[in-house]
Amino acid sequence: MTGIVAAHGDTPRGKAAHRFVRPIVTAALIGVLAVGLGGCSKKSRPKADLAASKVTTIGVNSYLWRASLDALSFMPLLQTDSAGGVIVTDWYANPRNPGERVKVTVTILDQDLRADALRVAASRQVSQGGAWVDAPVQAATVQRLEDIILTKARDLRRSGVGG
C-alpha cells in the first residue's frame, strides 16, 4: 500500500488511497497495542511468592530481620543496621540470675530466607569478686537462639504469603 501512495502521491487516486490506508494502519496499530497490553491487567497476573528482599528496602531478608528483633526484644539493643544486617545487644542479666550476663550479635548474611543466611554469636560473663569475667557460652545456647529466629522468620513468611 505504501507503494501506491508513493507512486501516486499527488494524484487524486494517491490521495484517496492515503486517506483510506491511514485509518486502517491506525486501527491495526491500536488493535495490536490493545492485545499486547491486555496481558498487563492485574487480574491476569499469577500470584508470585516474592522473596522478602523483593518487597522491602532493607538490605537483608526482612523476615529474618524482624524475627531477630522479635527474638531479642527482651534485651537492650546497642546497635542495629538493617542495610548491613547487624543487630548487637547490650549486656543483659536475667533478673533470676544477676551474677551472669549475656551479649548477642546477630548477623544476617543474605536476602534469602535460608538457615545459612543467619549467624548468631554470644558472649557471656559471670561476676567474680565484683568484676565481670568472660565465661564460655554453650554451643547449644547459640544454636537454640538461631532455631528460634529461623522458626519465627518462617512463621512470618507463612503469615505474609498465605494471608
Same domain, 158 and 81: yes
Closest CA to 80 of 93, 65, 95: 65
Same domain, 66 and 11: no
CA 90-93-95 angle, 5° bins? 145
Q: Count the domains in the chain.
A: 2
Same domain, 82 and 145: yes
| pLDDT band at residue 58 using 50, 70 and 90 as cut-offs | confident
| pLDDT band at residue 59 using 50, 70 and 90 as cut-offs | confident
| pLDDT band at residue 53 using 50, 70 and 90 as cut-offs | very low
Domain containing 17 equals 2-44
The total number of residues written for the chain in this structure: 163
Mean per-residue pLDDT, 56-66: 86
Same domain, 37 and 103: no
Strand stretches in 4-140, DSSP E: 77-81, 86-89, 100-108, 118-128, 131-135
With cell 486502517, the residue in question is: 24
Quote the CA–CA distance of 140 and 120 in Å, as a whole number. Answer: 12
Mean per-residue pLDDT, 14-41: 53
User: Above pLDDT 90, what percent of the chain?
Assistant: 61
- Assign residue 72 the CATH number of its domain: 3.30.530
Same domain, 73 and 141: yes
pLDDT at residue 44 above 70? no
pLDDT at residue 39 above 80? no
Instruction: Give tens-digit pLDDT for 89-107.
Output: 999 999 999 999 999 999 9
Same domain, 15 and 63: no
Same domain, 16 and 56: no
Same domain, 56 and 76: yes
Q: What is the pLDDT of residue 65?
A: 96
Same domain, 77 and 152: yes
What are the backbone angles phi and psi of residue 132, rounded to the nearest 5°? -90, 130
Contact between 108 and 85 under an 8 Å Cβ cutoff? The reply is yes
Quote the CA–CA distance of 59 and 53 in Å, as a whole number. Answer: 7
pLDDT at residue 76 above 90? yes
Q: What is the pLDDT of residue 97?
A: 95
Q: What is the pLDDT of residue 160?
A: 80
pLDDT at residue 72 above 80? yes
Same domain, 118 and 89: yes
Q: What is the pLDDT of residue 4?
A: 46
Q: What is the pLDDT of residue 109?
A: 94
Same domain, 35 and 99: no
Same domain, 40 and 58: no
